[in-house]
Amino acid sequence: MKSAKDNVELISIPMVVDVPYRFAAGKYMTRFLTELRDNGKFYGIRCPLCNRVQLPPRIVCAVCHVKNSDWIELGNEGTLVGFTIMYLPLTDPTTGKPHEPPFAYGSVRLDGSDSVIDHFLNVEPVVEHIRIGMRMKVALKEREDRVGDLGDILHFDPVT
Ligand SMILES: [Zn+2]
């Protein structure tokens, strides 16, 4: 049996809504991003119970639920733990500009950290030329061009 609402014509209006936004980085991310911008250094934070070093730093360990307060300076080299070859443009969230394919994108665990940074890899985007376990080094923008976000990282270069 049909009700009155079954006879209502639904008209939709497609649109794309652009909603730029900003949010406060917070105390820990502010310290992390300030060190990255001003000194080109990476700082993680160690959990006092499980000793995991999180990067970017988090106030509370997600495993132990205790406050982290032990800041650890990390190096700018690490190990590739995962990657993909992108064949579609990826919009850079910090610039809004597409990164033209094909390109390599990967997860690098900086030495001394238990978490990874996902970023562009400055390697030929061919699977046979990339391997898990490759040593990678961070390439940063020049100091005068850094603004205090993860876009201050240009990419990872292979260590040769
Ligand atoms: Zn913990």
Does any domain span residue 11? no
Going from the Cα of 61 to the center of ligand 1, the distance in angstroms, rounded, reads 5
All residues at 6 or more sequence positions from 31 whose CB lies less than 8 Å from its CB, including other chains: 43, 57, 71
* Residue 18 resides in a domain: no
CA of 46 to the centre of ligand 1 (A): 8
Q: Are residues 136 and 21 in contact, defined by beta-carbon separation less than 8 angstroms?
A: no
In a domain, 139, yes or no: yes
Q: Give the pair of three-digit tokens for residue 93.
A: 């969230």
Distance CA(29)–CA(2), nearest Å, equals: 57
pLDDT tens by residue, the chain, 160 residues: 666 667 888 898 988 888 888 888 899 999 999 999 999 999 999 999 999 999 989 999 999 999 999 999 999 999 999 999 999 888 876 677 888 899 999 999 999 999 999 999 999 999 999 999 999 999 999 999 999 988 899 999 999 8
CA–centroid distance, 73 to ligand 1, in Å, is 18
Residues in CB range of 160: below 8 A, 6 or more apart = none
Q: What is the pTM of this model?
A: 0.82
CA of 43 to the centre of ligand 1 (A): 17
In a domain, 54, yes or no: yes
Flag whether 39 is in a domain: yes
Distance (angstroms) between ligand 1 centre and the Cα of 63 equals 5
Structural domain count, the chain: 1
Task: Examine residue 5 and state whether it is found in any structural domain, yes or no.
Answer: no
- Give the pLDDT score at 21: 81
The rounded Å distance from CA 58 to ligand 1 centre is 11
Q: What domain range is 38 assigned to?
A: 23-158
- List 60's β-bridge partners, or say none: 67
